[in-house]
Chain A
Amino acid sequence: MRSEQTIDSETRLWHALASVLDPELDRPITELEFVTEARISEAGVRVRLRLPTYFCAPNFAFMMVADAYDAARGVVGDGTYIDVALLDHFASEQINSGVAAQNGFGDAFGHEALDELVELRAVFRRKAHTASVDRVARALLRGGSDLDELHGVRLGDIAESEDLERLRRRRDELGLPRGPGALLLLDDRGRPVDRDGVENHLRFARSVRVSAEWNRGFCQSLLHTRYDEPATPQAS
């Protein structure tokens, strides 16, 4: 018997899981179809995850599983049993037991790994920010802006869009200026880009975005090849 309450909780669980991003692909794990199960029962929470390949990087995999665990914990609070597991991965056992024991990646895999995840997250947040800059800048260029204008444009000057909103969120994550007075062309430490450096900055941003899109497309289609069909969400 599934109560209204359970259904409501599962919806909240699903939404919480949707806040977990694949750090590399920068998309929610729910959208990527990495979540094959997200159920709440008397026994507690049960989440099952899958990835495009057996050998996907264990540090990324660990991050996602750990983040999924935290997301679930945020929904049900302390005291409820949470069972989050990654399937079909060479390091599934280590990751799953590591997360269950609330150990860090370092404890699961060896101390040298521990610091990497913090740094790795930062690397991907910076890349996501850079790709966002590319998307906003290229819309302006298509609209007729030149490089001088791009150099001086501030966020408040730019028409609202999903890309702009995403850029602001990336800035929030990195603690960078995101108000209407903030320059568009800031590097990922928040320093304004010199006029001389604008072309290179934009070239690099384009490379980051192209790379991320290629990777995302590849991973998504690999997942389908591996599992032959998309996951059926357990909660809507």
Chain B
Amino acid sequence: MYERDGKKYFVFESHTAHWDGSPANQANRYGEGFINCFYDFHRNLSPTEWVWPLEKFQKFPVEVLHSELFDRGYADKAVLQTVNLWDFYHQGFSTADRHGAIAEAYPGDFLVNGAFDPRAGEPGLDKLEAEHERWNFQGVKLYTASWYGESKGYSLSDPWSYRYLAKSQELGIRNIHVHKGPTVYPLNKDAFDVADVDDAATAFPELRFIIEHVGMPRIEDFCWIATQETNVYGGLSVLMPFLHARPKYFGQVLSELLFFLGEDRLTFGSDFPLWHPKWLIEKFFDFEMPEDVVADYGITLTDEARRKIVGLNAAALYDIEVPAECRLPETETAEADAVVGAEPVSPVAVA
């Protein structure tokens, strides 16, 4: 819960994990390169006082995960996003089983998301079902640009992807988080391609596709897909730290997202421990859209929009009941900021 000026805001952490990137777990140079890459992102965009030593960043205690997110980081709920990387790490990077154990250790605080790779074929479907049976996923995290044997990547609209999405829907796994963002992975050209989201979202209108990192660096392609597909959402981790590093860029990109998706389909994530939610949330509430950006887009960042982004939107995706004092006022009407010049491309979707 974040409090400011007498108001309370429900905080839903939609992107975090507990990982083991330590040298002991690194299976090869890819494992080493992967965590070091993350560490560069961490160092590059964090205020100096928030930078961790490499050793801690590679592997930190579960207690630290919980206290940083919930005691310092204002979280009311957090989703642990599973990232296996069996080829890089002996015991996997951040696995469903380890996440599940953490969720059980802190009842009510964490949700666990699974992960699948459609190239695993039929056995993978069974595994998904079994893991869901054990951990009760409401979502999964996918990396379409990962290498798998000879394959350099897959598309969400491949036949096997559709089998897995259909299975997910059948099991009640409704939130499909797809990594479409900066490269931290061996990848092919398709990593940057968000077009497959379009097809999958159309084919599965009951599922929600949360595109993590908002397709960076293809945010323009992402925006143009998401404006038409009302079940496509933008996950803001990786954009958030620019509040500190380059607030002007933050303002411009957020304006693009608000323009094309509206305030109901954007979700806050810190990607902790990459960036710490305490400073992200505080700076997000401090942030004022630069005047020239407002003049350009005709969009200001309202209190209601902030409230939705840091908690209400994701709480709705995960069926989390939000305390009364954190909800929108009953008399809330649709935003109608004065627009200079541009009209929205299409009606803003209401979640």
Contacts and interface: CB of A to CB of B under 8 A. Distances in A.
Contacts, number: 103
Nearest to B150: A110
Contacts of B245: 221
A56 interface: yes
Given A113-B152, A116-B189, A55 B216 contact: no
Given A211-B219, A215-B217, A55 B44 contact: no
Given A53-B40, A214-B252, A91 B186 contact: yes
A164 B184 CA distance: 36
A8 to B, nearest CB: 38
A207 B342 CA distance: 14
B256 interface: yes
Interface string B221-265: 001100000000000000000100110010011001001100000
Contacts of B343: 199
A113 B187 CA distance: 11
Contact of B217 (A203, A214, A221): A214
Interface stretch (B28-36, B165-173, B196-204, B280-288): B28-36
B36 A210 contact: no
The 10 A-B residue pairs with the shortest CB-CB distance, nearest first, are: A207-B220, A215-B217, A225-B44, A54-B33, A211-B219, A211-B220, A208-B220, A55-B183, A214-B249, A116-B189
A195 interface: no
A207 B223 contact: yes
**Chain A binding site: helix, strand, loop or mixed by DSSP?**
helix
Contacts of A55: 33-34, 37, 183-187
Interface string A101-137: 0000000011011001000100000000000000000
B41 interface: yes
Contacts of A56: 183
A110 B147 CA distance: 13
A73 B189 CA distance: 27
A24 interface: yes
B220 A54 contact: no
B220 A90 contact: no
15 contacts: A53-B182, A53-B184, A55-B33, A59-B189, A113-B152, A113-B189, A116-B189, A206-B256, A210-B249, A214-B216, A214-B253, A217-B246, A217-B249, A218-B217, A222-B41
Contacts of A90: 29-30, 33, 186
A149 interface: no
Contacts of B152: 109-110, 112-113
Nearest to A202: B342
Nearest to A52: B40
A53 B187 contact: no
B43 interface: yes
B9 interface: no
B219 A214 contact: yes
B188 interface: yes
Interface in B31-86: 33-34, 36-37, 40-41, 43-44
A213 interface: yes
B351 interface: no
Interface string A191-229: 000000001100110111011111101100110111000
Given A207-B260, A211-B219, 12 more contacts: A55-B33, A57-B188, A110-B150, A116-B188, A116-B189, A207-B223, A207-B224, A210-B252, A211-B253, A214-B217, A215-B216, A221-B44
Interface string B170-194: 0000000000001111111101100
Interface string B313-348: 000000000000000000000000000001101000
A58 interface: yes
A58 B345 contact: no
